[in-house]
């Protein structure tokens, strides 16, 4: 691959550093979020390589050019196959619906690119397995693959992980997780791709459940052994969309079509250590906008986080005298907290988009250091196996279903 030694720093950052030339497939909601991550990471963090927004790909030439101009990409392609073969792309970032993740990732790794793939890793376990095989093979050639579970990179969740690893809550007993949104409450919301099994793989389960399974396992530092689940589709027919819609807003047209995914998933799980977990993923929690809530209860303390208050982490230290123990709020805005030494003066908070900047930062470091990034494709496959076990259990009316190793 043609590999310039130094970035020209044309965008005002990174001059003299080796470039990491990114080619991104898809430019809707996630594409916009990833663009912001790539654009900002090198301006905030002192990175060992300079990410360059080289090429963005979408099927409609006019629309993709407009997206490129809006988000700061230099060039465009209308066929992802052309993008993955380009000599001036080092890393392929996949921001498409799940049905194309496997094909693009496998081709990109075979073409010698590093890969970042949005969650869930794939639509099926078989696809995810093929992606892991491709990633392992590419690793031998020095190419790296990562899946985009961005909520690991909220400073407060990263701090929670650090505190669990420092043994501040002791042996884990409970993990209680919910991811609650309400953008599907209106039955007139059209049948966009997130509601079609052939494109999205599953509904709330893959969209939101994948996040909370990953986050719960990441914070706990261990994996689920099995699950019992219920799923439901509340609204089975919806208006067809008037135009393709990538984000969470869309306009309907005359006809209707069938919703082929779950609207909500509710499941309990058992961790390998014996700790118990509960999970709820829904887009029908009226009034809840982006409420990813997680609480961990250990023998010696508890931690709690809510994405709707993402600069805060609650901590109860049960070893303190009962008279003044109790949950206290840690404002996660200080330079000692993960990622925060590079941002604003102490006390000035961050938001949703910063998780994508941190994701880009961490991946650039991994590439520069030749170190396997996390979460890996193998981590993404394991989450996929949990999702498959949830669907299996729900089909059998909540029969306990072990997670395949
Ligand atoms: C929509 O439910 C959505 O955008 C998810 O697809 C994302 O993964 C999540 O981070 C926010 O909500």
Cβ within 8 Å of residue 87, ≥6 positions away: 1, 2
Which atom of ligand 1 has the smallest separation from the CA of 30?
4
Supply the residue whose CA is at minimum distance from atom 3 of ligand 1: 207
Q: What is the mean pLDDT of residues 197-221?
A: 98
- In this structure, the residue with its CA closest to atom 2 of ligand 1 is 207
Cα 185 to averaged position of ligand 1 atoms, centre (Å): 15
170 CA → ligand 1 middle, Å: 32
Residue 175: closest CA among 204, 228, 208, 212:
212
Identify the three-state secondary structure at position 150.
helix
Contact assessment for residue 151 and residue 355, using Cβ atoms and an 8 Å cutoff:
yes
**Residue to mutate (ligand 1; options 194, 207, 213, 262; most atoms within 8 A of CB):** 207
**Architecture of the structural domain at 19-150:** 3-Layer(aba) Sandwich (3.40)
Residue of 248, 265, 292, 351 to test ligand 1 pocket, by largest number of atoms within 8 Å of CB: 248
Q: How far is the CA of 209 from the centre of ligand 1 (A)?
A: 10
| Percent of the chain whose pLDDT exceeds 70 | 97
How far, in Å, from the CA of 207 to the mean position of ligand 1? 6
- φ, ψ of residue 307 to 5 degrees: the values are -60, -25
- Using an 8 Å Cβ cutoff, are 381 and 210 in contact? no
Superfamily of chain region 153-396: Dihydrodipicolinate Reductase; domain 2 (3.30.360.10)
Hey, whose CA ends up nearest to atom 5 of ligand 1?
Answer: 207
Contacts of 345 (CB under 8 A, 6+ apart): none
pLDDT higher at 298 or 247: 298
Taking CA atoms only, the protein residue closest to ligand 1 atom 9 is 208
Q: Shortest CA distance to 231 belongs to which of 210, 211, 256, 204?
A: 204
Please classify residue 135 by burial: count the beta carbons closer than 10 Å to its beta carbon, then call 0-12 exposed, 13-18 middle and 19+ buried. buried
Res 269 pLDDT > 80? yes
**Comma-separated ranges of CATH 3.30.360.10 domains in the chain:** 153-396
At 113 the pLDDT is: 98
Stated as kind and residue range, the H or E segment containing 107 is helix 101-110
List ligand 1's pocket residues with C-beta within 6 A.
29, 181, 207-208, 248
Contact 333, 348 (CB under 8 A): yes
- Specify the residue with its C-alpha closest to ligand 1, atom 8: 207
Separation of CA 211 and ligand 1 centre (Å) = 9
Cα–Cα distance measured from residue 164 to residue 169, given in angstroms and rounded to the nearest whole number: 6
The predicted structure's pLDDT at residue 2: 46
Distance from Cα 51 to the centre of ligand 1, integer Å: 24
The C-alpha atoms of residue 180 and residue 208 are separated, in whole angstroms, by 8
Give dist(CA 204, CA 280) in Å, integer: 9
Cα 390 to middle of ligand 1, angstroms: 19
pLDDT value for 252:
86
The span from the CA of 18 to the CA of 308, in Å, is 37
Cα four-point dihedral sign 234, 236, 242, 244: positive
Nearest atom (ligand 1) to Cα of 247: 4
Question: What's the confidence (pLDDT) of residue 4?
Answer: 59
How far away, in angstroms, is 194 Cα from ligand 1 center? 10
Q: What is the mean pLDDT of residues 253-261?
A: 94
Mean pLDDT of 261-289: 98
Cα 65 to averaged position of ligand 1 atoms, centre (Å): 25
Strands (E), 261-382: 264-271, 276-282, 291-298, 301-306, 312-317, 328-331
At 3 the pLDDT is: 53
The mean pLDDT of 15-39, rounded to a whole number, is: 96
For residue range 65-98, list pLDDT tens digits in order.
Answer: 999 999 999 999 999 999 999 999 999 999 999 9
Q: Given ligand 1 and candidates 97, 208, 209, which is best to mutate, with the most ligand atoms within 8 Å of its CB?
A: 208
Q: Which residues in the chain are classed under CATH 3.40.50.720?
A: 19-150
User: Length of the chain in residues, anyone?
Assistant: 405
Residue 215 — φ and ψ, nearest 5°? -65, -40
Distance 368 CA to ligand 1 centre (A): 29
Residue labelled with tokens 């706990």: 220
- The label of the residue with tokens 């589709």 reads 233
User: ipTM of the predicted structure?
Assistant: 0.96
Q: Give the pLDDT score at 246.
A: 73
pTM of the model as a whole: 0.96
């Amino acid at each position: 691959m043609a590999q310039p030694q130094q970035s020209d720093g044309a965008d005002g950052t990174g001059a003299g550093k080796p470039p990491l030339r990114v080619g991104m497939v898809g430019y809707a909601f996630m594409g916009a979020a990833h663009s912001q991550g790539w654009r900002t990471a090198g301006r905030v963090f002192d990175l060992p390589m300079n990410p360059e927004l080289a090429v963005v790909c979408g099927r409609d030439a006019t629309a993709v050019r407009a997206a490129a101009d809006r988000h700061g990409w230099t060039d465009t392609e209308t066929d992802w196959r052309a993008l993955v073969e380009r000599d001036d792309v080092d890393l392929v970032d996949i921001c498409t619906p799940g049905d194309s993740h496997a094909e693009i990732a496998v081709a990109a790794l075979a073409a010698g690119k590093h890969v970042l793939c949005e969650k869930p890793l794939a639509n099926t376990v078989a696809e995810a397995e093929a992606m892991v095989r491709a990633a392992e093979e590419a690793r031998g050639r020095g190419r790296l693959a990562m899946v985009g579970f961005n909520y690991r990179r909220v400073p407060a969740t990263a701090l929670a992980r650090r505190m669990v690893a420092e043994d501040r809550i002791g042996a884990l007993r409970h993990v209680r997780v919910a991811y609650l949104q309400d953008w599907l409450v209106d039955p007139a919301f059209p049948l966009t791709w997130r509601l079609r099994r052939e494109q999205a793989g599953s509904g709330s389960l893959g969209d939101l459940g994948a996040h909370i399974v990953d986050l719960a396992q990441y914070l706990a530092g261990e994996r689920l052994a099995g699950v019992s689940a219920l799923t439901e589709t509340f609204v089975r027919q919806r208006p067809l969309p008037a135009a393709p819609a990538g984000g969470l807003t869309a306009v309907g047209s005359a006809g209707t079509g069938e919703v082929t995914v779950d609207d909500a998933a509710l499941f309990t799980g058992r961790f390998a250590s014996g700790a118990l977990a509960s999970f709820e993923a829904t887009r029908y929690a009226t009034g809840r906008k982006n409420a990813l809530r997680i609480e961990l209860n250990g023998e010696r303390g508890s931690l709690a986080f809510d994405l709707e208050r993402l600069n805060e982490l609650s901590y109860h230290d049960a070893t303190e005298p009962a008279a003044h123990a109790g949950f206290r709020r840690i404002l996660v805005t200080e330079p000692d907290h993960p990622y925060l030494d590079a941002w604003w003066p102490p006390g000035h908070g961050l938001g949703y988009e910063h998780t994508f900047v941190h994701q880009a930062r961490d991946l650039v470091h991994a590439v520069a250091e030749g170190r396997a990034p996390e979460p890996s494709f193998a981590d993404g496959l394991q989450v996929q196996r949990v999702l498959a076990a949830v669907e299996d259990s729900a089909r059998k009316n909540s029969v306990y279903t072990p997670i395949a190793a």
